[in-house]
Amino acid sequence: DAGVIQSPRHEVTEMGQEVTLRCKPISGHNSLFWYRQTMMRGLELLIYFNNNVPIDDSGMPEDRFSAKMPNASFSTLKIQPSEPRDSAVYFCASSTPADTQYFGPGTRLTVL
């Protein structure tokens, strides 16, 4: 069975550019989560969706960050404009309500 799929796996961009990270959750999972891992702050929740509806976006650091889930099988996390401090590994996870969260392999973002 395919797990959570994230693309790209690595992204290098220059400050000021727009970055879009993509996630395909596990089929049948109706909750989707975006996390960010940095050395300073560890793994932190950015936003999550239930049934394609954003439930809690209090972890989104700034207005430069936005996330969408247009359908049950796809979500994007966009950063515009990107800054060097956005460099991190971004994880997507999916689940059903009573189950644990399954994580994707992550996208390593480097903003120069």
Return residues touching another protein (CB under 8 A): 4, 31, 33, 35, 42-45, 48, 50, 56, 59, 91, 93, 95-106
Tokens of 105: 């392999």
Write the CA distances from 28 to 17, 24, 51, 56, 99, integer angstroms.
34, 11, 10, 21, 12
Helices (H) then strands (E): counts for the chain: 0, 11
Bridging pattern class, strands 42-50 and 31-38: antiparallel
We find the least distance from the C-beta atom of residue 29 to another protein, in angstroms, to be 8
Nearer to another protein, 62 or 98 (CB): 98
Nearer to another protein, 18 or 44 (CB): 44
We find the least distance from the C-beta atom of residue 54 to another protein, in angstroms, to be 12
We find the least distance from the C-beta atom of residue 80 to another protein, in angstroms, to be 23
